[in-house]
Amino acid sequence: MGIDWSRVVSVDDLRRLAARRIPRPIFGFIDGGAEDEVGLADNRAAFDRWKLRHRVFVDVAQVDTATDLLGEPSRLPLAIAPTGLAGLAWPRAEVALARAAAAFGVPFTLATPSTCSIERVAREAGGRLWYQLYVLRDRDYTMKLGRRARDAGYEALVVTGDLAVGGERERDARNGFTVPVRPRLANILELLGHPRWLWQLATHGVPAIENLADWGGGNQGAQTLAAMIAAQFDPSVTWDELARLRDAWPRKLVLKGILAAEDAERAVAVGADGIVVSNHGGRQLDGTVAPLDALPEAVRAVAGRIAVLMDGGVRRGSHIAKACALGAHGVLVGRATLYGVAAAGEAGARHALAILADELGRTMALLGCRSVNALDARCMRRA
């Protein structure tokens, strides 16, 4: 039975569909955060701390949600964020997400531990592509990934800085989601309760981290290679390493995981073209300041010299409007489109973007803002 999209009217509706379609350990991996998940919840709650202030008797017959992101046009002030191991939710999920982004005229960011290769996504999806890079202990391989992204036409390198060590995601432990997988009776019963997901797995095979197939001697299973990546996270990476990456990468460079104004200033000094104010979706250090709350300080620190994006908790078009009103050039959305792809592949990802686009346009019209540039601090009041 197909999905009646007319009844799927919010990102939370897509989340419920995803929770029904995929096994609980996989959904928990997508949906969960670190430790008590206080930071995860506060990322969303931060948007409620700002109330919208509309203007009336403004001609909003034509509202334009388009803007520039990193110097190129985007239909929305939005890019799809990098999400690792997305192929556990849907076969070749990264290609589906990238195609949805291309159809909507927004950028897509491919994660380092992706189940589709840099080259496959460029070849099968196209559109505006950014590549998210972890600086691994194996520096030669790290630089090789950057060269592959450059040769495949990716326009931006997004270097994630808030993963010196992996966060403690207790929901994964409770659900039996481990890397590598250690099957338990409860998990086997859970998998058997999701026959459509199992049929896709049987048809397409267990997803591998295709992006890193030539690392470590072959195309290994997603879980095994993910464990190798975890061992390769390097807690010794410093700003000096970023300066070397800046010298090696010829296109746009974005630093993701910025929360402190001091780090935003360092990003400018190292030659970055943009930052993403982010706490890794609440998946790393629990209890951090919400990115939306950290955004104004970061905007002041860079003083218009580089682009400022933010992610974390974005589930509504009104959330995008609030972020832009606080000075962001745009947002990254991760779970919203991942719920969509987990529910129905590319069609679900497109529906997620359609929901956000419709909500943003309606929010702007009701605020009395005809363009994204008109969204500013006058549109809101702190609750």
**Residues known to be catalytic:** 280
Cα angle value 328/334/336 (rounded, 5°): 100
Contact indicator for 53, 363 with CB cutoff of 8 Å: no
Which run of H or of E encompasses 277? Answer: strand 274-277
Spatial separation of the C-alpha atoms in residues 18 and 1, rounded to whole Å = 15
Contact indicator for 157, 245 with CB cutoff of 8 Å: yes
Tell me: cis bond preceding 180? Omega within 30 of 0 counts: yes
Burial class (CB in 10 A: 0-12, 13-18, 19+), 236: exposed
Q: What is the dihedral of CA 35, 38, 44, 48, to 10 degrees?
A: 180
Spatial separation of the C-alpha atoms in residues 153 and 127, rounded to whole Å = 10
Question: Which residues have a Cβ under 8 Å from the Cβ of 361 and sit 6 or more positions away?
Answer: 63, 65, 317
Separation of CA 204 from chain center: 25
Measured N-to-C along each axis, helices 139-151 and 239-248 cross at an angle, to the nearest 10 degrees, of 40
Spatial separation of the C-alpha atoms in residues 324 and 327, rounded to whole Å = 5
